[in-house]
A and B are shown apart, each in its own frame.
Chain A
Amino acid sequence: EAEVAQSPRYKITEKSQAVAFWCDPISGHATLYWYRQILGQGPELLVQFQDESVVDDSQLPKDRFSAERLKGVDSTLKIQPAELGDSAMYLCASSRADRDRVNEQFFGPGTRLTVL
């Protein structure tokens, strides 16, 4: 069964350092999402890609966060510099691009980031 892959699973870093997370969506899924999930809360959308284009990054803190999906397949989310408040689970999800049907998103296992 196809799955969304993420790496690393866990990352510990010191504040002011740079971190990067990688996501490989399910093959054929045109839409890719990055979410941040703070402990005890629901996922919050950071950025949404349609193929290689960003279609929603309204909640992405652009002074320190960046995301790319250069070939419209896998994606990287970067934080530079990391701050204490960035400690969270970072989830990647993918779905088929069909605006007229239910948006079933498939989630990866997430990257747990701890900033010290």
Chain B
Amino acid sequence: TQLLEQSPQFLSIQEGENLTVYCNSSSVFSSLQWYRQEPGEGPVLLVTVVTGGEVKKLKRLTFQFGDARKDSSLHITAAQPGDTGLYLCAGEGGNNRKLIWGLGTSLAVNP
């Protein structure tokens, strides 16, 4: 059974601070996706990483896929209150191509 461990589960920081969210697994994923979700809404795809070692940037967000495609990280620089939300990682692997979800990181950025 594929599992995706996401940490931290909760994070409360001050505006301007940096943070990193991790997703780790013992399994290899063909791709890994990061989503952001606001209360009462569906998840919105931020990025998909496919190649081992790949780094993608989305303004102040930097996403990295591990060389072995078993782990990924999301780094936010100079966090702003608008970054507040639930961040979810999801890996795709196996023949059924279902997404394996991390437990999520609930981020609160205080002004």
Q: Tell whether A pairs with B.
A: no
B-binding residues in A (CB < 8 A): none
